[in-house]
Structure 1
Amino acid sequence: MSVPIQQDWEPVIIRKKAPNAAAKRDEKAVNEARRAGGAIEVVKKYNAGSNKASSSTPGLNTKKLDEETEVLAHEKVSSDLKKAIIQARMEKKMTQAKLAQLINEKPQIVQDYESGKAIPNQQIISKLERVLGTKLRGKK
């Protein structure tokens, strides 16, 4: 026994949310000004609703940046440290992936330390010292 399909043809009305008190107050003030015959001034807001700061003008800080002579760069792993890591890892006959697994880091971290691209992190260096059984920092 099949049930006949019935459709509901009642109209669905979706209403906007009622304006809040501030919007009503602004609308009321504009309507009062219109009734009183006063001139209503409309001001166009530039960059309204955009993500740019309205006070940011191009070239404001570029002069400071152009005049900057100090070279700013992150400290990288020293060549002594990277050689010590490679030597200790080779003595233990470990791969970079195995060493990374033992110190609970990604293999890319060990690769960066051995290639000298990494920014030195004392926690990672201490993990390497513990697993490799050698002193990598300070005097040997």
Structure 2
Amino acid sequence: MPSRNPGAMTQDWEPVVLHKSRPKSQDLRDPKAVNRALRSGGQVQTVKKFDAGSNKKSPATAVNPRKLDEAAETAALEKVSGDVRQAIQKARMEKKMSQAELAKQINEPPRVVQEYENGKAVPNQAVLAKMEKVLGVKLRGKHK
């Protein structure tokens, strides 16, 4: 049976002391000494490290926006075609649905349906597939 004397318990732990390593002589830099040398006209050596402390991307991945603007080729995104816009509107009207109701059924914000019907949206195959399923019309692929 263990004794009920709290003083009977002992700990086998030894204290652990952590010490910082001493700085090497080359790591000791005295900013006051640098300032004194600059004031007195003495020479101070500075070393610029490559891209030290900068947030710049490497030249291989960086894109110059000016070059993009000056490019001869315009990279316009494809918008919803007129026949797809009309097909969406016609099918929605036949089902007597509002844009908001269609948006709710395809689980998209109402703005998405508005953009598709106004021709301002960039066609997304997943959204078109959901519209096809709800409206029961073909919106993707070649129209005949």
TM-score (norm 1): 0.61
Look up the match of 1:139. Answer: 143
**Is 1:113 matched with 2:98?**
no
- Residue 24 of structure 1, CA deviation: 2.5
| Selected match of 1:128 from 110, 127, 131 | 131
Deviations 1:19-41, CA, capped at 9 Å, x for gaps: 7x6x923xx2155xx9xxxx984
CA RMSD of aligned residues (A): 3.7
1:101-125 per-position Cα deviation (integer Å, ceiling 9, x unaligned):
1111111110110011111011110
Q: Which amino acid aligns with 2:136?
A: G
The alpha-carbon deviation at position 42 of structure 1 amounts to: 3.3
Partner of 1:24: 23
Q: Distance in 1 between matches of 2:134 and 2:106?
A: 7
Kindly state the Cα deviation for residue 81 of structure 1 after the two structures are TM-superposed.
0.4
TM value normalised by structure 2: 0.59
Call closer, same or farther: CA 1:63–1:78 in 2, change over 3 Å: closer
> Would you identify which runs of 4 or more consecutive aligned residues in structure 1 move more than 3 Å?
39-42, 44-55, 60-67
Deviation at 1:53, TM superposition (A): 6.2
The 1-side partners of 2:110 and 2:47 are apart by 56
- Determine what percentage of the aligned residue pairs are the same residue: 50
Bigger radius of gyration: 2
Please tell me whether residue 85 in structure 1 is matched to residue 88 in structure 2. Answer: yes
**Aligned positions of 1:1-140 closer than 5 A:** 24-25=23-24, 28-29=25-26, 41-43=44-46, 49-52=53-56, 61=64, 64-65=67-68, 67-137=70-140, 138-139=142-143
